[in-house]
């Protein structure tokens, strides 16, 4: 009789290992096989026991270690070997993580699965950059969109619906298309002076942010040389970033070093 194991689709959060959920950490430390993405930080991978088989299936813009269809089939094949499988995904599996596609593929092949939510980058990276997604009098709603379509299809979004000054707009994977996104939002009526921010490697010691207005953000991001992963936040709450800027990547790095030298 063929025995099949459960596949755990686990959100790793945006990079800071301390943002892992307790459940995610437990599953990582009890896995037989770890299938992980490009955005999984080294600090998180260091929490995985040495005996765990690690399979990298990361994707970058235009460069796939494995196409999504092959990742889906890999998960099914691994499950049929009756092993404890963790599919680790950056952020949250169901927020631009294609976790639902993998879950549907598993279900159609009779494989049990469980989804473990993670802290999504929109909330975490904005918070670590001193920007609340909502704030009374500034933003009463949030829009989450992707700035990059699969297979490099042309970016298509309803700019008029998103050009809402009373909401915060968060763009995942929008670095390459940022100039066009900015132009379209302004043409749809969002003021060019709307505060805007781009954050690279949010929540990690390598975090870097660029603050600007909507019109100038693409040029300032290019001048700063930001590279993926970059999250873009557009809206009036970005104006609070100076007052709410609590995270110091340099200080975090110093704290880690000091902790490592303390004996128990």
In angstroms, the CA 98 to CA 91 distance is 11
State how far the Cα of 143 lies from the Cα of 47, in Å rounded to an integer.
33
Q: 16, 37, 92, 164: which one is catalytic?
A: 37
Residues 28-43 as b or e (16 or more Cβ within 10 Å = b): beebebbbbbebbbee
* Residue 233 near residue 121, CB atoms below 8 Å: no
Q: Exactly one of 23, 54, 59, 220 is catalytic; name it.
A: 59
Phi, psi of 13 (to 5 degrees): 80, -170
Partners of residue 10 on adjacent β-strands:
88, 116
Is 37 an active-site residue?
A: yes
d(CA 75, CA 7): 7
Q: Would the CA dihedral through 205, 211, 214, 220 be positive or negative?
A: negative
Q: How many whole angstroms separate alpha carbon 74 and alpha carbon 11?
A: 19
Rg (CA), the chain: 20
Task: Determine whether 166 is an active site residue.
Answer: no
Q: How far is CA 10 from CA 22, 24, 40, 57, 252, in A?
A: 11, 6, 11, 15, 25
Active site residues: 37, 59
């Amino acid at each position: 009789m063929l025995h099949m194991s459960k596949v755990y689709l686990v959100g790793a959060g945006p990079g800071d290992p301390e943002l892992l959920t307790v459940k995610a950490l437990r599953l990582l430390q009890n896995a037989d096989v770890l299938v992980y993405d490009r955005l999984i930080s080294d600090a998180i991978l260091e929490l995985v026991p040495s005996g765990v088989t690690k399979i990298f299936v990361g994707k970058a813009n235009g460069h796939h270690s494995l196409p999504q269809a092959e990742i889906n089939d890999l998960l099914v094949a691994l499950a049929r070997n009756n092993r404890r499988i963790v599919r680790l995904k950056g952020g949250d599996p169901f927020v631009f993580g294609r976790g639902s596609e993998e879950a549907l593929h598993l279900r159609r092949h009779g494989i049990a699965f469980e989804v473990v939510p993670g802290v999504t980058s929109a909330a975490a990276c904005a918070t670590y950059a001193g920007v609340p997604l909502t704030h009374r009098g500034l933003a009463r709603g949030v829009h989450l969109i992707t700035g990059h379509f699969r297979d490099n299809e042309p970016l298509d979004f309803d700019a008029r619906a998103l050009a809402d000054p009373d909401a915060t707009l968060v763009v995942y994977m929008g670095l390459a298309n940022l100039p066009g996104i900015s132009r379209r939002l302004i043409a749809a009526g969002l003021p060019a002076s709307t505060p805007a921010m781009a954050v690279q490697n949010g929540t990690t010691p390598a975090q870097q942010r660029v603050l600007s207005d909507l019109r100038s953000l693409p040029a300032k991001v290019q001048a700063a040389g930001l590279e993926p992963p970059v999250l873009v936040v557009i809206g009036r709450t970005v104006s609070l970033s100076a007052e709410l800027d609590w995270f110091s990547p340099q200080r975090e790095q110093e704290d880690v070093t000091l902790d490592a030298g303390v004996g128990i």
